[in-house]
């Protein structure tokens, strides 16, 4: 019974802990396990961008491609960055999974 409750809570965290703008920072969450805080001054642009992803979920970096992925399944938004290092890799963009891509992008436009 405990395991079932834990699994249901984890699944709920995919929807109840969305990414958000907090003051001058962008908080990108990886469910309840981790989060990445990026200064808004490092965010150059945000746009809807769908990419099919396979393999492990969570944060992955690619030093050759100067990129990062924070997603569970397909990613839906690309965030172009300047001067950001994640896990020792300087990244030019991060692709993330967002439930409502248009609303997420609109939050940046309204800023």
Domains of the chain by residue range: 2-109
Q: What angle do CA 37, 42, 48 make, to 5 degrees?
A: 85
Rounded CA gap, 30 and 94, in Å? 13
What is the per-residue pLDDT across 43-86, written as a single tens digit (0 to 9) for each? 999 999 998 877 666 788 888 889 998 877 788 999 999 999 99
This prediction has a pTM of 0.81
User: Smallest Cα–Cα separation from 71: which of 89, 53, 87?
Assistant: 53
CB distance 38 to 44 below 8 Å? no
Nearest to 93 by CA among 35, 29, 42, 50: 42
The whole-number average pLDDT for the span 86-111 is 89
Q: Average pLDDT of the chain?
A: 83
């Amino acid at each position: 019974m405990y395991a079932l409750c834990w699994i249901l809570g984890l699944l709920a965290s995919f929807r109840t802990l969305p990414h958000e703008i907090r003051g001058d920072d962008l908080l990108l969450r990886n469910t309840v396990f981790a989060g990445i805080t990026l200064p808004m001054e490092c965010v150059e642009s945000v746009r809807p961008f769908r990419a099919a992803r396979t393999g492990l979920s969570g944060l992955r970096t690619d030093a050759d491609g100067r990129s990062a992925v924070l997603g569970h399944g397909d990613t839906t938004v690309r965030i172009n960055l300047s001067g950001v290092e994640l896990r020792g890799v300087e990244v030019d963009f991060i692709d993330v999974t967002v439930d409502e891509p248009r609303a997420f992008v609109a939050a940046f436009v309204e800023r």
